[in-house]
């Protein structure tokens, strides 16, 4: 059947069919990717966050689906569709990270850091490393910035800062490209290369230009 998405009735019927399909594939065929889509459907289309959380939790607990663990942890932390519980939120974000969902690692790192103890800062670093490994650009950028300046538990290390800036820039994180450009210009952790420095500066500016989210383009460095 050809759907006419300019017709509201066709759109309504299409969404009803999609919902039935996701339900069947999730509960009858036990397909975790369909359970994820079902949770996303409750979240984005039905705006039923209570039911979405039930699906995300089930999909995390039964099928070790990192994205579902992340979403359930996120809503536990925010208290949307469920009672706010920061401790339990971190447990599920930790699971999401364990199951290789990079964004879960990054948020877990932020929560660990907010607890503000040396032990938690160390754990936060582990989460960031795992997040970058799983291609979360913000984790790579954060690690680069940490190693540029150092802090009370991490020594300044320009070689590591360069490595993380390079990966973050490959993942199109603008601040990572900024860091990389400045390091190449100054010879921090590498040989001076003005041509490459200019290339990464222009890449950072182009990424910034492409962003539609004004928050995403709020970075400094040049």
pTM: 0.85
| Predicted pLDDT at 13 | 86
DSSP assignment of 5-21, as one string?
TTSHHHHHHHHHHHHHH
Q: CB 57: neighbour CB atoms within 10 A?
A: 20
For residues 89 and 112, what is the distance between their CA atoms, to the nearest angstrom? 11
CA nearest neighbour of 217 among 177, 186, 170: 177
74-109 pLDDT per residue, tens: 999 999 999 999 999 999 999 999 999 999 999 999
| Predicted pLDDT at 8 | 74
| N-term to C-term CA, the chain | 54
| Predicted pLDDT at 119 | 67
Fold equal for 8-134 and 135-222: yes
183-203 pLDDT per residue, tens: 999 999 999 999 999 999 999
CATH homologous superfamily for 135-222?
Answer: Tetratricopeptide repeat domain (1.25.40.10)
Could you tell me where the DSSP H helices lie in the chain? Answer: 8-27, 32-44, 49-63, 66-78, 86-98, 102-114, 118-133, 137-149, 158-170, 174-186, 194-210
| Predicted pLDDT at 114 | 63
| Predicted pLDDT at 17 | 92
For residues 166 and 173, what is the distance between their CA atoms, to the nearest angstrom? 10
Domain boundaries, given as residue ranges, for the chain: 8-134, 135-222
pLDDT less than 50: residues of the chain: 213-222
As assigned by CATH, the class of the 8-134 domain is: mainly alpha
């Amino acid at each position: 059947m050809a759907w006419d998405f300019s017709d509201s009735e066709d759109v309504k019927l299409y969404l009803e069919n999609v919902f039935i399909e996701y339900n069947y594939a999730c509960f009858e065929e036990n397909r975790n990717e369909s359970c994820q889509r079902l949770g996303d459907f409750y979240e984005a289309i039905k705006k039923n966050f209570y039911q979405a959380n039930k699906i995300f939790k089930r999909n995390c607990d039964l099928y070790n689906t990192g994205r579902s663990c992340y979403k359930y942890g996120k809503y536990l932390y925010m208290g949307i569709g469920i009672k706010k519980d920061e401790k339990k939120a971190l447990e599920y974000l930790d699971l999401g990270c364990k199951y290789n969902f990079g964004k879960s690692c990054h948020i877990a790192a932020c929560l660990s850091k907010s607890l503000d103890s040396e032990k938690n800062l160390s754990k936060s670093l582990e989460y960031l490393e795992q997040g970058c490994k799983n291609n979360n650009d913000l984790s790579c950028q954060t690690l680069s910035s940490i190693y540029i300046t150092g802090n009370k538990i991490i020594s300044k290390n320009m070689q590591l800062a360069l490595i993380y800036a390079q990966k973050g820039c490959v993942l199109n994180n603008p601040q990572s490209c900024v860091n990389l450009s400045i390091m190449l210009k100054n010879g921090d952790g590498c040989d001076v290369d003005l041509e490459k420095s200019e290339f990464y500066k222009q890449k950072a500016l182009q990424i910034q230009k492409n962003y539609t989210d004004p928050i995403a383009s709020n970075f400094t460095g040049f």
